[in-house]
Amino acid sequence: MTTTTERAVGQPIGRIEGPDKVRGTARYAAEYQVGDDLAYAWVAQSPVARGTLTGVTVDPLVEADDVLAVLWHGNAPRLGAADDPELAVLQSDRISYRGQALALVVARTLEAARRAAATLSLEIDEEPHDCVLRTEHPDLYTPEKVNPAFPSETTSGDVEAAFAAAPVTVDVTYRTPPLHNSPMEPHATTALWANDDLVLYDSNQHPPGVAAAVATVFELPPERVHVITEHVGGGFGSKGSARPNAVLAAMAARVTGRPVRLALPRQALFSMVGHRTPTIQRVRLAASSDGHLTAIDHLAVSHTSRLFEFAEQTAVSTRHMYAAPNRRTGHRLVRLDMPTPRWMRAPGEAPGMVALECAMDELAVALELDPIELRVRNEPTVEPESGVPFSSRHYVECLRRGAERFGWGDRDPRPKQRREGDWWIGTGMAGATYPTMAQPSTARARRLPSGDYEVSIAATDLGTGARTILTQIAADALGVPVSQVRVRIGDSTLPKASVAGGSSGSASWGWAVTGACQALRSNSSSDEAVFDSTELVQKQEKDGKHAFGAHFAEVRVDAVTGEVRVSRLFGMYAAGRILNPRTARSQFLGGMIMGMGMALHEEAVLDPAMGTWVNHDLAEYHVPAHADVESVEAEWLEEQDDQINPMGSKGIGEIGIVGSPAAILNAVWHATGVRVRDLPARLDKILPHL
Amino acid sequence: MKTFTYRTATDVSQGLEPGATFLAGGTNLVDLMKLGVATPDVLVDVTRLGLDEVGDRPGGGLRIGAGVRNSDLAADPRVRRDYPVLSQALLAGASGQLRNMATTAGNLLQRTRCRYFMDATMPCNKHDPGSGCPAREGDHRNLAILGASPSCVATHPSDMAVALAALDAVVRISGPAGERTVPVTELHRLPGDTPDRDTVLEHGELITAVDVPPLGFAARSAYRKVRDRASYAFAVGSIAAAAQVDDGTVTDVRLAFGAVAHKPWRAFVAEEALRGQPATRESFLTAADAELAAAEPLRDNAFKIALIRNLVASVLEGLS
């Protein structure tokens, strides 16, 4: 008889699919063998930012033997109305951004499809475009709500009076550039029709959501679309919903009667699948001379496309971070001739906390107060704008414990004091926060004849360890070792799961898995149990639930060149119960390193005249290289929270990128006395002021 | 990607048919073919011509075969001992995997990383003569401050070429019309109104070797590369330097700048200004200013003047 003495949750178990990935046997969307008549598709993208497509001419001599179809709005099958206008591919003559899909070539070989696409004549009536985000743009407007459903504006107290009366104020504008998700695995779909059923091998973060969206577009019952997503090579939000590749591949398969594969080239990921909007943020802080905030005012300006209103919730994290009697947050949008922005790791929080946490650092300097102490003095007792008590909040503990572990204590607060050789050295810190969410999901647990258990849910594993963690959760709920649990995910026909987004996957799916496994365990007369968490999730209080953390950075700035290097990056988190320290650590570190990229490297460079970003591969769009990552460490506090989900876990996938860029920017100031308020902090912005 | 044919070269002087191009490591050409920027009809593989040795030259110096891989050249004990600037420049470039493939001649002949050149859907006088240069008004933060023209503000991306320019290296060339030699400093052209031509090579001419003459004081030489991240990025500015300092006086010096022009920029003016001068930071800065007086920065790349100036002073101080 087997008894388990040690709980699986909390153990540093390695990724279950790790060996498959290392051996190359793990299959991704563009790797499935689906018959010997597989065709390949290639997208012809718009070379202009605005206009109309009046015709497409095919050179009949180019790859004539191999080209099976050339689709554009003049001949493409009509699609049903999509919730996301980016999915209405090849349906209209309107061109809304440079890089938009205008035509699709389907051919027997990838090479033929690519070459034929390059030689298509696209007849276009070009119109003047506008791609530049600016605070004085005449078309700025206040959206009704910001993502996903927050009020666009909030206000309490008398902000202007508080500023007029305050002895110390800060009024600063921070700019963050457009950023691109650029996961290692490009967006890809292999599509085939089996009678009237559509099968998609698709790289995404939400198989049931993709199935539903594609079913709507092709006017099918959702159960007729089968999405298989066994492994995903990253998404960072850009695969959170069906992307044009899924619809294009399905359309091509329908027209040609063959299975069709469409893997977007790297360059297309910089237009067709979403990006993080640029932001221009004005933050004003007013404080008493002893460092108590009397007013906070945060206004964020971002762009969206002509196709779709995507309203980044940039100032929302400011609503629950610090106490202040007078407060105001707001958002403005402008529609530009640009691709539609979408989610990118910590949408809202990542750019918003750059402005807030750098402004707090500037306030600490103005007050001659330690930046940690300033934050401690403004710790709220309840969530400031909702008035709801926090389910748990250990922000101050993260600040204190993090400071101790990092060695903050003997810091000279003055800038540009420490020099070693050619290097100016400085340290900085910033707070971190991310909402704790759960979404309704359903899981099924089965007792197999072998005595093992199968647990099924239509979740995905983006490489984060979701499959492993669900196995641990199921093992504990069943009271068996992990070796007796097989978790099935990555298939839309399994019980319905929520999206792998908002750092909510483990909480949402784990909740359903726990329910199903407990039900099975408590009912020995049945070999199967299904649990739907919808009711429990919906009646949960949504406000007051967040993870918190603190980031610390030590940088050195070359006095000769202005080059910035991050010598140390440290994160201390309070994020509920950590389900698997090994995969959790990877999540935290990955977020922090991405935060380093946001602070120092990443930027989509706009050419206003050409109407597009001119860097669109990983040679020119820089993310940190291995050599940029010197010492990076993450630790966490034990935090118990019984108000969030059965596991007591908080989302950890995104908090690492929240505040880490600000910690680095604050350290750059401390090293050099140079405030870079226009990200990324590259040498050309620093060198002239050294 | 355009369909092409492939053959191997059997002789250094056989030349090329129209539409053909030489292929060595392929680390730049193949990328450009995938991007539709290079569209050769025929690839002629030169990696089997046996040009892959580093040899001693009678009287001193090295003869570096055109096909010697960058990683092998960087690791060569003679290079490390006698020309550390060259080894450092090679190791500052690309990644281990790329250096294992890239060759000496291919490195010299790599094309600009100007973002408009690299994108076949953009106008660019270099890949589509007469179509215009959007970089001058658009993205040019990392483009030229010296020797540019209204037609083109591209920079040459090589690190190795900057070191070779400083070392007075000479390129040996073979072709149907015979053999000739060209100093590395004269191999690359300034763009003028024909920026589609990167070098003085005629169609069908093949680089067979690079000769590096003896230069005793090059044993004290250095390459310093500045870039936007710690590794795997092209230079934002770089310098190659060698200096002979006797009793506090600069008696001889070699200096070249990278990422500032359409070619590796040998700083002859600065060198002349330095010879015989005291080896002080003040002299180094004066010499740098003399060279950079010709700079014509664009809206977003004036920082390169200060950057190169600082590099000259810092690296020469290190060598003094």
Using one digit for the tens of pLDDT, what is the confidence trace for A615-630?
999 999 999 999 999 9
Measured CA to CA, the distance from residue B233 to residue A65 in angstroms comes to 42
Burial class (CB in 10 A: 0-12, 13-18, 19+), A418: middle
Q: Are residues A423 and A515 in the same domain?
A: no
Taking the alpha carbons of A240, A241, A244, A250 in that order, is the dihedral positive or negative? Answer: positive
CB B308 within 8 A of CB B239: yes
Q: Which one of A206, A238, A270 terminates a domain?
A: A270
Chain A CB within 8 Å of residue B232 CB: yes
Full 3-state SS string of chain B? CCCCEEEECCCCCCCCCCCEEEECCCCCHHHHHHCCCCCCCEEEECCCCCCCCEEECCCCCEEEECCCEHHHHHHCHHHHHHCHHHHHHHHHCCCHHHHHHCEHHHHHCCCCCCCCCCCCCCCCCCCCCCCCCHHHCCCCCCCCCCCCECCECCCCCCCHHHHHHHCCCEEEEEECCEEEEEEHHHHECCCCCCCCCCECCCCCCEEEEEEECCCHHHHCEEEEEECCCCCCCCCCEEEEEEEEEECCEEEEEEEEEECCCCCCEECHHHHHHHCCCECCHHHHHHHHHHHHCCCCCCCCCCHHHHHHHHHHHHHHHHHC
Q: Are residues A484 and A556 in the same domain?
A: no
Q: Identity (one letter) of the amino acid at A192?
A: L
A3 domain residue, yes or no? no
Query: Which chain A residues contact residue B230 at CB under 8 A?
Result: 565, 625, 627-628
Would you put residue A562 in left (φ > 0), alpha (ψ -120 to 50) or beta?
left
Q: How far is A601 from chain B (nearest CA, A)?
A: 7
Q: Are residues A282 and A403 in the same domain?
A: yes
Q: Give the pLDDT confidence score for residue A5 in this predicted structure.
A: 55
Burial class (CB in 10 A: 0-12, 13-18, 19+), B105: buried
Categorize the per-residue pLDDT at A63 as very low, low, confident or very high, splitting at 50, 70 and 90: confident
Contacts of A531 (CB under 8 A, 6+ apart): A442, A443, A444, A445, A512, A513, A514, A515, A516, A518, A519
Find the CB nearest A560 among B2, B231, B310.
B310
Q: Could you tell me the residue range of the domain that residue A534 belongs to?
A: 18-27+438-538
A138 domain residue, yes or no? no
Query: Which chain B residues contact residue A111 at CB under 8 A?
Result: 1, 3
Q: Are residues A621 and A639 in the same domain?
A: yes
Q: Give the pLDDT confidence score for residue B174 in this predicted structure.
A: 97
Beta-strand pair A528-532/A606-607: unpaired
**Is the model's pTM score more than 0.95?**
yes
A139 domain residue, yes or no? no
> For residue A679, what is the DSSP state?
S
Contacts of A507 (CB under 8 A, 6+ apart): A436, A437, A438, A644, A645, A647, A649, A650, A651
> For residue A597, what is the nearest residue in chain B, using CA coordinates?
B229
> For residue A115, what is the nearest residue in chain B, using CA coordinates?
B1
Q: Are residues A654 and A552 in the same domain?
A: yes
Taking the alpha carbons of A398, A401, A405, A406 in that order, is the dihedral positive or negative? Answer: positive
What phi and psi, each to the nearest 5 degrees, are found at residue A538? Answer: -70, -30
Q: How many domains does chain A have?
A: 3
Taking the alpha carbons of A362, A364, A367, A370 in that order, is the dihedral positive or negative? Answer: negative
Q: Identity (one letter) of the amino acid at A405?
A: R
Whether residues A610 and B232 touch (CB distance < 8 A) is answered with: no
Q: Give the pLDDT confidence score for residue A1 in this predicted structure.
A: 40
Q: Are residues A242 and A320 in the same domain?
A: no
Q: How far is A240 from chain B (nearest CA, A)?
A: 29
Chain B CB within 8 Å of residue A64 CB: no
Find the CB nearest B226 among A563, A601, A626.
A563
Whether residues A687 and B141 touch (CB distance < 8 A) is answered with: no
> What pLDDT digit, counting tens, does each position of A187-232 carry?
999 999 998 899 999 999 999 999 999 999 999 999 999 999 999 9
> What pLDDT digit, counting tens, does each position of B288-305 carry?
999 999 999 999 999 999
Q: How far is CA A43 from CA A200, A220, A496, in A?
A: 18, 25, 32
Query: Which chain A residues contact residue B134 at CB under 8 A?
Result: 607, 609-610
Taking the alpha carbons of B182, B184, B186, B191 in that order, is the dihedral positive or negative? Answer: positive
CB B44 within 8 A of CB B7: yes
Contacts of A493 (CB under 8 A, 6+ apart): A223, A226, A458
For the question of an ipTM over 0.95, the answer is yes
Q: Are residues A214 and A80 in the same domain?
A: yes
- Which chain A residues in 583-612 lie under 8 Å from chain B, judged by CB atoms? 600-601, 605, 607-610
Categorize the per-residue pLDDT at A6 as very low, low, confident or very high, splitting at 50, 70 and 90: confident
**pLDDT averaged per 10 residues, chain B (length 320):** 92 95 98 95 97 96 98 98 98 97 98 98 97 98 98 98 98 96 98 98 98 97 98 98 97 98 98 98 98 98 98 97
Chain A CB within 8 Å of residue B115 CB: yes
Domain annotation for chain B: domains and CATH numbers = 219-319 (3.30.390.50)
Measured CA to CA, the distance from residue A398 to residue A638 in angstroms comes to 11
A682 domain residue, yes or no? yes
Q: Are residues A281 and A368 in the same domain?
A: yes
Find the CB nearest A622 among B1, B233, B306.
B233
Query: Which chain B residues contact residue A684 at CB under 8 A?
Result: 141, 236, 300, 303
Chain A CB within 8 Å of residue B233 CB: yes
CB A110 within 8 A of CB A81: no
Is the bond leading into A680 cis (omega within 30 degrees of zero)? Answer: yes
Burial class (CB in 10 A: 0-12, 13-18, 19+), A479: middle
CB B43 within 8 A of CB B19: no
> For residue B313, what is the nearest residue in chain A, using CA coordinates?
A560
A4 domain residue, yes or no? no
Q: How far is CA A202 from CA A26, A52, A226, in A?
A: 14, 30, 10
Q: What is the CATH number of the domain that holds A155?
A: 3.30.365.10
Q: Give the pLDDT confidence score for residue A517 in this predicted structure.
A: 98
Whether residues B1 and A115 touch (CB distance < 8 A) is answered with: yes
> What pLDDT digit, counting tens, does each position of A293-310 carry?
999 999 999 999 999 999
Taking the alpha carbons of B100, B102, B104, B107 in that order, is the dihedral positive or negative? Answer: negative
A359 domain residue, yes or no? yes
Whether residues A118 and B36 touch (CB distance < 8 A) is answered with: yes
Of A420, A427, A465, A559, nearest in space to A231 by CA: A465
- Which chain B residues in 18-57 lie under 8 Å from chain A, judged by CB atoms? 36
What phi and psi, each to the nearest 5 degrees, are found at residue A181? Answer: -65, -50
- Three-state DSSP class for residue A301: strand
> For residue A558, what is the nearest residue in chain B, using CA coordinates?
B226
Size of the A and B interface in Cβ pairs below 8 Å: 86
Point out which residues pair with A154 in neighbouring strands.
A329
Chain A CB within 8 Å of residue B186 CB: no
Query: Which chain A residues contact residue B119 at CB under 8 A?
Result: 614, 616
- Which chain A residues in 452-471 lie under 8 Å from chain B, judged by CB atoms? none
Q: Are residues A579 and A614 in the same domain?
A: yes
Query: Which chain B residues contact residue A118 at CB under 8 A?
Result: 36, 120
CB B265 within 8 A of CB B256: yes
Q: Are residues A431 and A445 in the same domain?
A: no
Chain A CB within 8 Å of residue B268 CB: no
Of A72, A69, A47, nearest in space to A113 by CA: A69
Chain A CB within 8 Å of residue B134 CB: yes
Chain B CB within 8 Å of residue A678 CB: no
Q: Identify the helix (H) or strand (E) that includes residue A472.
A: helix A466-478
Of B319, B145, B94, nearest in space to B223 by CA: B319
Catalytic residue among A63, A362, A603, A654: A654
Query: Which chain B residues contact residue A628 at CB under 8 A?
Result: 229-231
Whether residues A609 and B137 touch (CB distance < 8 A) is answered with: yes
Q: Are residues A386 and A455 in the same domain?
A: no
Report chain A's mean pLDDT, rounded to a whole number. 97
Active site (annotated) includes residue A654: yes
A168 domain residue, yes or no? yes
> For residue B314, what is the nearest residue in chain A, using CA coordinates?
A560
> What pLDDT digit, counting tens, does each position of A132-171 carry?
999 999 999 999 999 999 999 999 999 999 999 999 999 9
Q: Which one of A217, A245, A270 terminates a domain?
A: A270
- Best probe of the B interface among A607, A678, A690, by most B CBs < 10 A, is A607
Chain B CB within 8 Å of residue A59 CB: no
A9 domain residue, yes or no? no
Q: What angle do CA A26, A30, A33 make, to 5 degrees?
A: 80
Query: Which chain B residues contact residue A620 at CB under 8 A?
Result: 113, 115, 118
Q: Are residues A219 and A149 in the same domain?
A: no
> What pLDDT digit, counting tens, does each position of B106-118 carry?
999 999 999 999 9
A99, pLDDT greater than 60:
yes
Query: Which chain B residues contact residue A560 at CB under 8 A?
Result: 310-311, 313-314
> For residue B315, what is the nearest residue in chain A, using CA coordinates?
A560
Q: What percent of chain A has pLDDT over 70?
A: 99
Query: Which chain A residues contact residue B114 at CB under 8 A?
Result: none
Of A266, A250, A207, A259, nearest in space to A231 by CA: A207
Q: Which one of A493, A512, A538 terminates a domain?
A: A538
Chain A CB within 8 Å of residue B116 CB: yes
